[in-house]
Structure 1
């Protein structure tokens, strides 16, 4: 009977060599490399197996794993320090109070990065820094601006201002949507005004000037005054906007005026806005010529600012309205603050001018249509044009006389 030889017996290793793991089978034996090793040359029955990972590779792998672990630890530490820093900024900037305000969204630093993305388009200059164009998750366009660096002493004032702005619900005041407090200098997120500032519209270079009718200018004046009136009287914490100028009046895609930038106080008042609207000239223009002084001298010497009106709107039938706007502007700029009209009166007078102009146009259109129908002619005599709107012209004339006397009495000029 055939007896199987155990080739894997240590006593047979010289006759049946195996440089790995030996496994006896009937009539033969199997030899395989140890785990982590691989056959070399003639295989494990003839020579030793080679390591799958050489010592150098094992050393490199160990170093790499150790370095990776160190990097992870460092990154985690930096992340925790960054998170702690952001929490400190959040508290310093009044986050513990503002996070409980209903009308404002608190954006995280990561959310702000997504809002701005790589879009570093600068759309303006605010009171404290540049204004950037951003986009919310729902694709709503927004304007993002930096605020001021808030010290512990300013913390209460800053939080109160943000709260007040968030509660201002008026169509003619730019809406504060939210803020990011997780950075040294807070960022404020406002609704977007597609047409930029009134300054840009009024005073861009000639090749980019936007045509502005008198009706549109009156609308902008009234809407701006409405926003200021609301700020002055219609909220629990009255804000006196100290920086009223065309640069701080923004216009939407439909040219709705919105007051913005509650920044540094100055002596530029609403009267300047009115003067720039009717003249389309900047406060300082030409060779250091002062728009305010020019109008002041015009009304003192000729009781008329006609030569300063923008020629695009200074047509004969609108001169009286422009004169009234000019006089109102000069009253707003009166050196005696207590003799300036309040914003309620300003709104009322501007609205009256708009109504009188509309009345004049309606009277003209109705009379013209009736004349054509009754006389069946194709051409209207010039004399008819001159008399068709006498009622509204008389109203404006009376108003001009009254306000001219008022202006002279308040300024003490004859």
Structure 2
């Protein structure tokens, strides 16, 4: 066997030496024949083009070239954006105007809309930036349920000297959502009515730019757009092979093509990508001396006058040594790979805050004995090496898998996309906080694994979907909830929040109570989930000050105005959930009238006009005891009071709900569920979700809606 292997290696090397490689054809072009392929120092590849209409694929790809600059005109006919530096496969850099507030003189205050075009603002190459003292800016796109923004603070001197030119003092920045084509900016009035600015800008450019020096003199900043021609061109397998193409996808899932390694040209023009003449290209020339390189009939080879027999003898004699070296190399590779794997695990463990968590676990001050550190092998086995068939759902910051531990427990394992290294201490504190929560109506965090590239969080598995699905996605999988069940669920949610606010070792504010964050187990008991944005506070604290973040329809108006989150903000969100249970309506709906699109406003107006029983859900309106319904409606109205101080506490709410239950005892009636399965179901509607983060719970629901949240700095 060894002799045969040596002979095969020798034959292969001789064949490699004797054969010639394919040659490079004529220098490939990037533009259509007869069309201009360059404007200044920027190459213009097809489907982009300059000149007549047949030089570019569609109007969106037209380039107008002046003597000094090229103007891209696919977006707004009035706005001409400069093409900046280069056009790459799937990417194009342009200069987009800065948006300014009405307090600025001679500055634009119009948003940007490129919907209907093949362009999207790149989410991973751009940042949303706000400049100006005490500037609270929010960015909205096509999705009315998502709000992204940041706030500057010119009174905090610590921020002024914090590392980075956009640390929060006079300038703040945040990430961009996926698939954005519309950029609308809202400047929220603060204590100072000064000139304020907001814009999207390329992250790489921001890292190299000092925004404090020359910003006032700028009108445009560089932005990266993703583009695709998938709506115009789709290649089949034979075309891809004939044109020597590879392909990739943009962040929003659109396909684009590019040439394989060793080929150059334009994948969208015939004959496609062509082999490179390496004799003419010194960078790719494989011969030690360029004079030794010959290009014969389209092929290249190094002209070395050596006997084939001599080469064969050399190859055969050295093959034995090669075999020995291969064996030694293979053995060393295994040893080094194992050692590097151990080192890498230690590196990830340290980077993900493992040392800090170990310190907290060993401290007697923290009652965190139940928090477990899982190893990566254990969780890989639990998820069949994170098989795609085990995926429960995906969010903007991570993927949730269903797994089974070695002891037979079914769990939900969250694989985070990333963790900000600057917030490691906060991340570990959140794990410790959640591990201490022990309540029957709160989803339990069982532990985590920090020795992987991104953290893995292990949660209690809840099998029966979310409250949102039962209220708004009525079908055979999610039967109707009776009034008794709704009242019991509301009481259980209130009990869990009362525990978090009052009974936990440190008060915990959930900060994103909504029906999609309420899970139901196999007995339809409520489980409060998704503590990604939760905050623990000192006993003598009354609020936490954070960046504004939340979900429209549930967001406390007082918190949105002040950026100060209190326990009464959770009460407001709970009030919206109560109204959902009463009416079966979504928190925001475009089908309602203008003044009633927000459910809380719609509900309060209906109460004021004595139309409560006109807006109730069918399962609620047929309740015999109308006093119970009125009691819950009045309680919801108090929770939605615009003045947080006049709202009841969660403990008071829990006691009132339990009082209603004592008057009319409630027992789970699962036969009622079977009865209402056959009732007429409403059509399913979609709901948008907030951005997600590492710290979140999950459910095994088949719905695409996954309760996801984002961690923000305090």
Q: TM exceeds 0.5?
A: yes
SS in 1 for 2:458: strand
Q: For residue 332 of structure 1, what is the aligned residue in structure 2?
A: 639
Gap regions ≥5 residues in structure 1: 1-35, 37-54, 360-414
State the secondary structure of the residue aligned to 1:132: strand
Aligned residue for 1:153, secondary structure, equals helix
* Structure 2 match to 1:87: 346
Mapped to 2, the partners of 1:356 and 1:67 lie a distance apart of: 82
Is the 1:126–1:261 Cα contact (8 Å) retained in structure 2?
Answer: no
Structure 1 CA distance for aligned equivalents of residues 659 and 357 of structure 2: 42
Single out whichever of 126-135 and 239-248 deviates more from structure 2. Answer: 126-135
After superposition, the Cα gap between the structure-2 partners of 1:113 and 1:61, relative to the gap in structure 1 and judged at 3 Å, is: farther
Aligned-pair CA distance for 1:183 = 2.3
Structure with the higher strand share, 1 or 2? 2
Larger Rg belongs to: 1
- Residues 225 and 343, structure 1, Cα contact 8 Å, conserved in 2: yes
> Does the alignment pair 1:67 with 2:326?
yes
Give how far 1:342 is off: 0.6
Cα shift at 1:311: 0.6
* Residues 304-338 of structure 1: per-residue CA shift (max 9 Å, x gap): 52112111231151332222222212211211111
1:6-405 to 2 correspondence within 5 Å? 63-99=322-358, 100=361, 101-117=368-384, 118-120=386-388, 121-124=390-393, 128-147=397-416, 149-264=418-533, 265-266=549-550, 267=555, 269-285=573-589, 287=591, 289-302=597-610, 304-358=611-665
Question: Which shows bigger deviation, 56-65 or 109-118?
Answer: 56-65
> Which consecutive residues of structure 2, in runs of 5 or more, have no partner in the other structure?
4-313, 362-367, 534-548, 557-572, 667-714
Q: What CA distance in whole angstroms lies between the structure 1 residues aligned with 2:633 and 2:393? A: 29
| CA distance in structure 2 between the aligned counterparts of 1:249 and 1:128, rounded to whole angstroms | 20
Residues 179 and 270 of structure 1: CA distance in aligned 2, closer, same or farther (over 3 Å): same
Specify whether residues 354 and 66 from structure 1 end up closer, same or farther in structure 2 by C-alpha distance, changes over 3 A only: same
**Corresponding pairs, count:** 305
Cα deviation, residue 180, structure 1: 0.8
Where relative contact order (Cα < 8 A, 6+ residues apart) is larger, the structure is 2
In 2, the alpha carbon distance for the partners of 1:332 and 1:318 equals 22
Name the SS for the 2:619 alignment partner.
coil
TM-score (norm 1): 0.68
How far did residue 188 of structure 1 move? 0.8
Give deviations 1:35-65, integer Å, cap 9, x for gaps.
x9xxxxxxxxxxxxxxxxxx99997565334
For the 8 Å contact 1:119–1:133, the answer to whether it is kept is no
- Judge conservation of contact 1:126–1:145 (CA < 8 Å) in 2: no
Displacement of 1:136 after TM fit?
0.7
Alpha-carbon distance between aligned partners in 1 of 2:348 and 2:317, rounded to the nearest angstrom: 46
Q: Return the alpha-carbon distance in structure 2 between the equivalents of residues 65 and 166 of structure 1.
A: 54
* CA distance in 2: counterparts of 1:281 and 1:334, whole angstroms: 19
Aligned-partner Cα distance in 1 for 2:341–2:352: 16
CA-based RMSD? 2.6
Paired residues of 1:127 and 1:262 also in contact (CA < 8 A): no
1:316 and 1:247 mapped to 2: Cα distance?
Answer: 25
Residues in 1 aligned to 2:581 and 2:608: alpha-carbon distance in whole angstroms: 21
CA distance in structure 2 between the aligned counterparts of 1:350 and 1:128, rounded to whole angstroms: 36
Q: Quick one: structure 1 residues 144 and 354, their matched pair in 2 at CA, closer, same or farther if it must change by over 3 Å?
A: same
Rounded to whole Å, the distance in 2 between the matches of 1:316 and 1:200 is: 22
* 8 Å contact from structure 1 (residues 225, 346) kept in 2: yes
The change in CA–CA distance for 1:320 and 1:222 in structure 2 (over 3 A counts) is same
What SS does the corresponding residue of 1:352 show, helix, strand or coil?
A: helix
For residue 240 of structure 1, report the CA deviation from its aligned partner. Answer: 0.4
**What is the rounded CA distance, in whole Å, between the counterparts of 2:662 and 2:317 in structure 1?**
89
For structure 1, which segment, 111-120 or 62-71, has the greater mean C-alpha deviation from structure 2 after superposition? Answer: 62-71
Higher helix share: 1
Shift in alpha-carbon separation, 1:59–1:293, aligned structure 2, 3 A: same
| Distance of aligned partners of 1:221 and 1:58 in 2 relative to their CA distance in 1, 3 Å threshold | farther
Q: SS of 1:354's equivalent?
A: helix
Shift of 1:82: 3.0
Could you report, residue by residue, the CA deviation over 1:338-359 in whole angstroms, capped at 9, with x for unpaired residues?
A: 1111100110111111222239
Change (3 A) 1:323 1:128: farther
